[in-house]
Amino acid sequence: MQKLTFISLIALIIGSFNYASAQELKLNDLEYFEKQGVNILVYNNLFTGGFNDEKTAGIEMIHHGVRTSQGGAVRLSNTPEQWDLVPAIPTRTVNQASNSIESILKYEYYDFESRVVVTAKGKGVEISVYLDKPLPTALEGSAGFNLEFLPSQYWHKTYLMDGRLNRFPRYVVGNTVTRPNEEKLEQFKGFVTYDDRGTGKFVDPLPLETGRSILMAPEDPERLVKITSHDADLMLFDGRMIAQNGWYVVRSLLPAGKTGKVLTWTVEPNAIDGWVREPNIGFSQVGYLPSQPKVAVIELDQKDKPQAKASIYKMDENGKTTEVYSGNIEPWGDYYKYHYVKFDFSSVNIPGIYHIQYGDMKTNNFIIEDNVYDKITDATSDIWIPIHMNHMFVREAYRVWHGEPFKEGYLQAPPNSDHFDLHAQGPTTDTEYEALELIPGLNIGGFFDAGDFDIETGSNISVVQNFVQTWENFKPLRDQTFVSQEQRYVDLHRPDGTPDILQFIEHGTLNLVAQAEIIGHMAQTLSNSVLYNYHHLGDAASLTDGLPYNPDLGPYEVAADGKSSGVKDDMWAFTSRNPSLDLRAATMFAAASRALKGYNDDLSERSLYQSKRLLKEATALLASQPQDESGREWGSLGDISTNLQLYISTGEQQYVDKFQELLWPALDRNVSFVILTALHGIPHMDASYKEQLRPYMVKYKEYVEGLEKDNPYGVPIGLGNWAGSGGVINFGTTISFAHKHFPDIIDADHAFKTTNWLFGCHPYHNYSLVATVGATRPKEVFYGNNRADFSFIPGNVAPGILFRQPDHFENYDDWPFLWGQNEGTIGGNTSYLIFGSAFKDLIK
């Protein structure tokens, strides 16, 4: 029996490699290693130094179209967390002659440098680590070379370490040890990232296996990788043991006391012979109006030969499908890694259920009907937005989304405090409050920013402005949410007789007015004081103990009167003054004062007063401060918007004069940046204003038409570390308002490019980027506060298709933890709300 098992094991291994292509990896012109089915990137994408390890950097592998491995670098822990130290990479040298890439990796804090050389060797690469000086004593036993693998692509699959067979676990299970917390604090430069509950220890996972050679996923030729270490043991760790966003880590420690080439790995990713990526047929999962343009964008592997035609099939009442249209495939061209063709089926206009057939590919079904867009914003307004109401108990039927958070309020952040979410308190508090003093009255209203539970003031300002614009332009009377400020209670799917959007405006304004009145200006953020709480998953009400911190008490001790504790878990207010932020708040307060008039008159009057005050003070402060070009541009936009909103609210001539004085030069500088604000002014100006705006609309039309040549989707595609749904939504909103006022210049058809993109016509896959919105295939995992459940909050809008340098787009739907592609934000989702409202108004 043992002999039979061993023979079967050998057959499995040999059979796995039979899939391999004889093609060797080569350095291409984009400076990464490539063969059909395998791309190996070497520091094309760098660690940020802001959020540090974002799982999007280092040595990365794109394996049969999916980025399955990343983070390859010298690291200082077995399973690095997000805020662990990351190496700076000051140099990267590409040597085409030797088919290699060499980089310096530096840890400034330890004065420690290593050199990593990656060289193509046959079907794989050789990774070598060189040291010019021995490891610092402090890093002996902790510095090692890591390569991380995406769990969702490997769980349930097998691996062999030195021939020993095992399986990658679906859920993290394994053994750990505890170590002195001083070691972790050292590596985190003092950030408290864990709660040791007084033990003085932190948890460190032990390896699942150890050996010199690991074969991963031998049963899956698309994921098969072999790694061999020539100098040191390989260790396999499960990074999810200490962080749900952790990856599987293959690691070798660097030796102490040695220099020169101290470590060598051979990494051989399998490449299926003749592999060609399956076509991605981009179309709207929501469906189409009978009268709208209908164009599928088909993304093809460069080695794939385009079909001549595609077809549309219609389903009858018995479930039988019949071809109703066949049309030519039209070439568009290359865009980054792939080739694109288009299939226009606009002539199909009879209501019904359809699918697209392209070669052997059959899409899921979609609908053609007059009502397909009627409910595109309902989940966002009915569910996602109220769930993110801070300082409220939120219930949905049997489910409690969260209790009332942060009853203890917010403490003044101490001067010179850096923050792990890229905030900082300056040398003074800029308030009347002392460091760690309770600032009373801030624990009211406001919205969680995103997948975390802080109040980002800038985002909340945008949110209220979005709500007001939606209310004033479209007057949505939808009422599906019970909101009681007195009870601090929200109940979903329970009408209370008041339009939900008015209650959302009130809720956001309550917190922002409190900041202006109590602090004297706008806070940067109301956020966590310790990182351990910041990455909290679960009920927001359990993030803190609900009691203010009392330094006179011992750790975790509660005062005799039950009103304070020794737990350092309080939320802090970061209050360094930013006049540009004050200016944006002035814009929002002016708008909110109008919307709240007649509903909450007291809050309306307070908002208008703060708008005027902040405008006056912020303008004076900005005039006295130096501004870079970007700051001037954003400051100008804020000033333009504030004066417009104050003019609409008060009718005073001084504001309209200032608005026009600033607007036209700004349009001359960047028409697409300012044009939406200019359009919002049309209903409040005379006819000459609109005519003066006309040539700028012609210029904007040129920009819109230029997008058709820029990419096959005809929308502004973002190429940064945060995917571009926000820019596409803003584009659609601008088109909707532009067509309303200038239908002879801006064609309404351009607005459908945004819905197409959001609902499935985009690179990488064709899933709808809006949770639960889409006929049969919306995305099913998002980066929300329930991300550890691999779930979503209905109505969430994903940032979408993330670009990885130099030519790869991606959006994981089996791994929620990359916020740049999967995290919906309160600002982005309320921008979607105004777009959806404007779009539905347009098509009517």
- Write phi, then psi, for 354 (nearest 5 degrees): -135, 165
Element (H, E) at 357: strand 352-358
- Strand pairing of 248-253 and 424-425? unpaired
Helix 629-650 to helix 579-596 angle, to the nearest 10 degrees? Answer: 20
Element (H, E) at 693: helix 687-710
Q: First and final CA of the chain: distance in angstroms?
A: 73
Helix 687-710 to helix 671-680 angle, to the nearest 10 degrees? Answer: 140
Distance CA 412, CA 433 (A): 7
Dihedral sign computed on CA atoms, order 547, 552, 557, 559? negative
Catalytic residue among 182, 432, 661, 814: 814
Task: Name which of 815, 637, 796, 811 is nearest 718 in CA terms.
Answer: 811
Element (H, E) at 297: strand 295-300
Q: Tell me the two tokens of residue 463.
A: 């949110």
Element (H, E) at 393: strand 393-396
Q: Tell me the two tokens of residue 436.
A: 């760690």
- Write phi, then psi, for 204 (nearest 5 degrees): -130, 125
Q: How far is CA 528 from CA 193, 454, 455, 488, in A?
A: 12, 7, 10, 21
DSSP E strands in 518-560: the ranges are 525-528
Q: How far is CA 648 from CA 512, 585, 673, 681, in A?
A: 21, 16, 21, 9
Q: Tell me the two tokens of residue 615.
A: 């405008």
Residues whose CB falls within 8 Å of the CB of residue 620, separated by 6 or more in sequence, listed in order: none
Element (H, E) at 439: strand 438-439
DSSP E strands in 181-259: the ranges are 201-205, 209-211, 213-216, 225-229, 234-238, 248-253
Output helix, strand, coil percentages for the chain, rounded to the nearest 5: 30, 25, 45
Distance CA 25, CA 32 (A): 9
* DSSP category for residue 497: S
DSSP E strands in 672-804: the ranges are 802-804
- Answer yes or no: 454 catalytic: no
- Write phi, then psi, for 677 (nearest 5 degrees): -60, -40
Q: Alpha helices, DSSP H only, in 490-534?
A: 500-514, 531-534
Dihedral sign computed on CA atoms, order 503, 504, 505, 506? positive
Buried b (16+ CB within 10 A) or exposed e, 351-382: ebbbbbbbbeeebebbbbbeebbeebbbbbbb
Q: Kindly calculate the radius of gyration of the chain based on its CA atoms and give it in whole angstroms.
A: 28
Q: How far is CA 745 from CA 322, 439, 647, 796, 837, in A?
A: 40, 52, 28, 33, 22
Residue 90, number of CB atoms within 10 A of its CB = 11
- Answer yes or no: 823 catalytic: yes
Which residues are known to be catalytic? 814, 823
